Chain A
Amino acid sequence: MTGHPLESLSALLDGELTDAEGRDVEAHLAGCASCARHLRDLTAVDAMARGLPPVAVPDGYLEALPARVRARIRAERSPARRAPWVWPLAAGFAIAVLAPLVLREGRPKESALVESDRVAPAPEVEPSPVIEAEEPAAVPPPSELAGTPQTQTQTQRYATTQSNKPVVAARELKQEAEQARGAGGPEATQGKARQERDDRSAALASSVSEPAPAPAAAAPARAGASAGAGNQAADTAAMRDEAAAETSTFAGAPEVPAPPSLMRKSSRAAVSPAGAEETAFRTVAALPLSSAEAARRARQGWARFLADHPGGARADEARVRQVEAAVAAFQASADPADRAMAEGDASAYLSGRNQPQAARIKAALARLEDKR
């Protein structure tokens, strides 16, 4: 053996040398004080590294993670992602059923989907809980836990337990964002009509793609399971337009669902509404918090994200990051306005029931006190 076999010393430490290699290295060590000392150093470094304390985990993070992972799994199970052919099929179905009605009424300039509202009117109520239902509850519906189809009673009961406060907050955020983008007036009305139209077409699409356990239970089941596949099925309709709108809302956002570093093998053709949400999430998440101004921009980014994806799988995390961005702005600026913004965002989050990341929000609020 010539020279000092440094790589072999490291491998010897790990027991990764063959018997023959090990004998060679040990023979070298017997006659080389430098390598012997080097091996002792490496052994000490290894022992110190293995003795490092466990990494610190933010308060509340581990408590919330399972629910967040679950929400994303459900988002992946949405019909658009599971079966890319569903939308063309739904569109064909809608055209086949609705076009004759449109032609018969002699209103060819209106879209078939708008016309469908008249043919099969949905109740003129506040936005449906299918769309407004909030981020996944920490505990899924009992029927899902048991792996059995949901019953109407269960899902209705589940729906009534959802707090309206976060829904209102999300709606306000959306209104703020629309105003900020100059989307008021007639355009806003058109946008709302389009949203409602898509909500209904989503229900139609889901009824085509997913056989319901029982017809009477199908609609409420989707309304109640806020974090479930049913909800995702409905959300996908609203998200279809969002996918197209991403380029304006998040200028420069890539078209793939996740950055190449994490989703290298993703296909553009496979972009789903859930993927659009993920793309938007990552775009905002990439914004720096390195200065007060940057943190304020990030907070605004989260507000826009929540306006566009109020019930998405990433909504809860976005709400938390919105608070954290506001806190970062205050920490950088000491501006009372930033503090008020942070406290307002935190209050909006904590006003909801069973918020999964309440501890993380409280930890962020504690950082406001540190600044004092």
Chain B
Amino acid sequence: MVQAAVDAIEAALLAGAQGGNVLAFDEIVRRYQRRVYATALRIVRRHDLADDVTQEAFLRAHRALASYDPARPFGPWICRIAANLAINHVRSPQSREDTLDEVALAQFPAPGSDGPLDSVLETEARDVLEEAVGRLPPEQRAVFVLRTFEDLSYKEIAEALDLSVGTVMSRLSRAREKLRDALAGYLGPALDRAGGASR
């Protein structure tokens, strides 16, 4: 019931924005800006670039409002736009140079002791994972971000990034392989925890 009311409000906002209501689109931006920014930042890894991508995503969405169906969920759509812009950006030569600099600065911390997974170890594992995601090739990172944090299907990711579903599948698999390797020292406790949670 609550979700239906939220959806109705969003549909009304989108309809208003389509009609040229500036405040309605403002509200749409407010609702989705954190999500769009997060998607962009996880791919481009720098605030200023994520800011550019976020603004550009909303501008493109605004331009496309006339042909947008308000019955469709806005969130996945705007995040796909942002991801597409972000991946285009990280493919640029300038961005690759930046990424190299970033990689040179980012060193994985060594895994901690073999003791139980305490909060320090958990924090350390999260840091390692964040670093490892940042070290993924941009193409793999974009696919991983859209799948893991936006929960998009392979088909939706393929459409967003102009790839085949098979390419999405292989990139995601390779990304996960790399993350698994980076987290090798932490997976035992994590599995124990996951197993405990599932019991």
Question: Real complex partners, A and B?
Answer: yes
Our pick among A11, A55, A260, A264 for the contact of B42 (Cβ within 8 Å) is A55
Task: Report the nearest B residue to A281, measured CB to CB.
Answer: B52
Give CA–CA (A11, B170) in the complex, Å. Answer: 9
Interface size on A, residues (CB 8 A): 51
Task: Contacts A49-B133, A145-B22, A261-B88 given; indicate if A7 touches B169 (C-beta within 8 A).
Answer: yes
Q: Fill in one digit per residue for A4-33: 1 if any B CB lies within 8 Å of its CB, else 0.
A: 001101110010100000000000000000
A47 contact from B55, B180, B190, Cβ within 8 A: B190
Task: With both chains docked as a complex, state the minimum distance between the C-beta of A82 and any C-beta of chain B, in angstroms.
Answer: 12
Any B CB within 8 A of the CB of A93 = no
Q: Nearest Cβ in chain B — how far from A124, in angstroms?
A: 35
Cβ < 8 Å to A, chain B residues 4-26: 19-23, 25-26
Interface size in chain B (residues, C-beta < 8 A): 60
Query: Which partner residue on chain A sits nearest B129 by CB separation?
Result: A48
Q: Which chain B residues lie closer than 8 Å to A88 at the CB level?
A: none
Bitwise interface map of A from 40 to 83 toward B, beta carbon under 8 Å scored 1, else 0: 11111111111111110110011001101110110010000000
Chain A CB within 8 A of B3 CB: no
Pick the contact of A70: B26, B53, B63 (CB < 8 A).
Answer: B26
**A48 x B176 contact (CB < 8 A):** no
A117 interfacial contact with B, CB 8 Å: no
> Are B22 and A10 neighbours in the complex by a CB distance under 8 Å?
no
A147 at the interface (CB under 8 A from B): yes
Enumerate chain B residues within 8 angstroms of A216, measured Cβ to Cβ: none
Q: Which residues of B contact A7 (CB under 8 A)?
A: 169-170, 173
A/B interface sample: 26 pairs, CB < 8 A: A6-B177, A14-B154, A14-B172, A40-B191, A42-B176, A43-B194, A44-B183, A44-B194, A45-B187, A46-B176, A48-B129, A48-B186, A49-B148, A52-B129, A54-B34, A65-B37, A65-B54, A69-B29, A70-B25, A70-B26, A76-B63, A140-B22, A147-B19, A262-B53, A264-B88, A285-B52
